[in-house]
Structure 1
Amino acid sequence: MERAPLIRQLNPADRDAFFQLRLRALLAHPESFSQSHQEALQKGPEQYDAKLQGAQAAEGDFVLGAFAAADQPLIGAVGLARNQRLKERHKASVVGMYVAPEAAGRGVGRALLTELLARAERVAGLRQIQLVVASKNDAARHLYESAGFRCYGREIEGLCVDGAFNDADLMARFI
């Protein structure tokens, strides 16, 4: 039996590895992310500095990383972003979920999502976790459904990638 991946909160020392993994995700699955590869390159790794500081982690803003072992490279990541408006502070969104192809099928995505949800449940005042998933991404949608997320709508032509429109399913899970 293969060992479970190590999941931990990413910090400033992980920035470059996280940025490289993010760039891989944006190239491999442009239909799954609102940020384009070109936009990410223009903003650079600095765009993640504040989030990786972890100052708001207890409030529901953090990024988790997956590693095969402590001394191994980053193989997956996911973030939680809490809504900042007062009337929406009871909600947060799963953002940037990605597992490198060399780690696919080994439970990395499930481990990341499980840890994210466990941490979200400890955030005071947080009641709902939302996410957006490409409608054609059956594997991701099944993972989210198995973790208790339910579809509550569909954004028609939510993203336009190279002139092709892609629908997106809106999902939520209550804590």
Structure 2
Amino acid sequence: MINNALLIRQLGPADRDAYFQLRLRGLKAHPESFGESYEEALAKGAARHDAILQGAHAAEGDFLLGAFEVTDAPLIGVVGLRRNQSDKQRHKASIVGMYVAPEASGHGVGRALLNELLARATQIEGLRQIQLMVSSRNEAARKLYESLGFRKYGCEIEALNVNWVFHDADLMARFM
């Protein structure tokens, strides 16, 4: 399905609806993998992503990337970077909202998204560390992150409560 023409680019305002629909798919299919529930996302609406989609702070470390098979094809994967805003923590940023549609899974889309995110992150002045949380049970994602230099530094016990089923999350970091 996925060919060598995979396009990874920063998402903008015109991508809002496609991004929001793919995010909802991820929230519904894998509630244990996201801090936000499907219902919360619906209640807040797509407009809450407008600020990051404007891209005004992309150079400082706040952006969303999207994966497409080719130009003008449907969005098949997303990942975001959010930089800490406090003076004492601006050297850190977090990977957020990583999701690849099931029809594109296993074809290198996640790796391509993360490679582009890391390439952009190395250009951000003062950024020294990228952190993420991954469900302790999501071995495939953890292995992908480890292959890109992320290392586990802790585990948050019962990090997420999905209908009274608790899920631990591994805390991982990569130093630039």
TM-score calculated relative to the size of structure 1? 0.99
Match of 1:60 in 2: 61
Q: CA deviation at 1:4?
A: 4.4
Query: Secondary structure of 2:117's match?
Result: helix
Match of 1:105 in 2: 106
For residues 125-144 of structure 1, what are the structure 2 equivalents within 5 Å?
125-144=126-145
Q: CA deviation at 1:3?
A: 1.3
In the alignment, the residues of structure 2 paired with residue 106 and residue 4 of structure 1 have an alpha-carbon distance, to the nearest angstrom, of 12
Q: CA deviation at 1:2?
A: 2.9
Query: Secondary structure of 1:170's match?
Result: strand
Query: Secondary structure of 1:119's match?
Result: helix
Unmatched 5+ stretches in structure 2: none
In the alignment, the residues of structure 2 paired with residue 30 and residue 131 of structure 1 have an alpha-carbon distance, to the nearest angstrom, of 17
In the alignment, the residues of structure 2 paired with residue 132 and residue 113 of structure 1 have an alpha-carbon distance, to the nearest angstrom, of 14
Match of 1:6 in 2: 7
Match of 2:21 in 1: 20
Query: Secondary structure of 1:21's match?
Result: helix
For residues 26-65 of structure 1, what are the structure 2 equivalents within 5 Å?
26-65=27-66
Residues 26-84 of structure 1: per-residue CA shift (max 9 Å, x gap): 00000000000000000000010000000000000000000000020000000000000
For residues 86-165 of structure 1, what are the structure 2 equivalents within 5 Å?
86-165=87-166
Q: Which runs of 4+ in 1 moved over 3 A?
A: none
Asked whether the 8 Å contact 1:4–1:107 carries over to 2, the reply is: no
In the alignment, the residues of structure 1 paired with residue 172 and residue 164 of structure 2 have an alpha-carbon distance, to the nearest angstrom, of 25
What RMSD in Å do the two structures reach over aligned CA positions? 0.8
Letter of the 2:126 counterpart:
G
Asked whether the 8 Å contact 2:6–2:68 carries over to 1, the reply is: yes
Unmatched 5+ stretches in structure 1: none
Query: Secondary structure of 1:153's match?
Result: strand
In the alignment, the residues of structure 2 paired with residue 71 and residue 2 of structure 1 have an alpha-carbon distance, to the nearest angstrom, of 15
How many residues are treated as equivalent by the alignment?
Answer: 175
Letter of the 2:52 counterpart:
K
Query: Secondary structure of 2:96's match?
Result: strand
Asked whether the 8 Å contact 1:157–1:168 carries over to 2, the reply is: yes
Give percent identity, aligned residues only. Answer: 70
In the alignment, the residues of structure 2 paired with residue 4 and residue 168 of structure 1 have an alpha-carbon distance, to the nearest angstrom, of 34
Query: Secondary structure of 1:48's match?
Result: helix
